[in-house]
Amino acid sequence: MNSIEEKIRVLIVDDHPVMRDGLRAAIDQEDDLKVVGEAADGAEAIEQFRQLLPDVTLLDLQMPRVDGLQAITAIRHEFPSASIVVLTTYPGDARVTQAMTLGATSYLLKTACREEILRTVRAAMHGRHVVAAEVAIDIDAYRGSEGLTLRELSVLRLVAEGKSNRAIGEALFVSEDTVKARMKSLMAKLDAEDRTHAVTIAIRRGFIDS
């Protein structure tokens, strides 16, 4: 850990140059913070982390080549004490749970104000966890609800593509009755009224991509 006199070294990972520029400008204005590197995707993030060994990494989830979750996995595998703050547009509770399980220190939305982001970077440096209020509310709302199995997710992704039960069964090599059973189960878990509602809820909660 750095001494009081040293600045907290930050790596910014986002595929949007404008976002990186904005974060760099905000961070470099602070006396105790310093941007030491930038990366445009998860693969670059892993390489930059190895070279720079930043104190805190600000990381988006949705990126080309290697996404944020894959980058968290790789970085934490090599550097178990790495402090990673997820800064993303995706509030779904499934994504939050996955990111935190993989080792993210904190989870913020890109709508967070400058002060909140800076506070979270400082908190991460000291091992404190921060989760955006909007995200925390969603997590509390679904606390205790069951997650979807891989088989249910495979059905739901095909439902999102507009496929019928028969087409889904053919694609997954299962009977139409099996598809109906999985639909009934996943709709109960999501508290969905119909197929469309199930897809909408799953996207919001981060189980599937839009």
What is residue 85's predicted lDDT score, i.e. its pLDDT?
Answer: 96
User: How far is it, in rounded angstroms, from Cα 58 to Cα 87?
Assistant: 6
What is residue 4's predicted lDDT score, i.e. its pLDDT?
Answer: 47
What is residue 141's predicted lDDT score, i.e. its pLDDT?
Answer: 65
Domains of the chain as residue ranges with CATH: 8-142 (3.40.50.2300), 150-205 (1.10.10.10)
List the structure tokens of 104.
């993210």
What is residue 38's predicted lDDT score, i.e. its pLDDT?
Answer: 97
Task: Provide the pairing of β-strand 8-13 with 83-88.
Answer: unpaired
The counts of H helices and E strands in the chain are 10, 5
What is residue 142's predicted lDDT score, i.e. its pLDDT?
Answer: 67
> Average pLDDT per run of 10 along the chain, which is 210 residues long?
70 96 95 96 96 96 91 95 92 84 92 94 92 77 70 92 93 92 90 91 81
- 7 Cβ contact list (under 8 Å, min separation 6): 31, 32, 33, 34
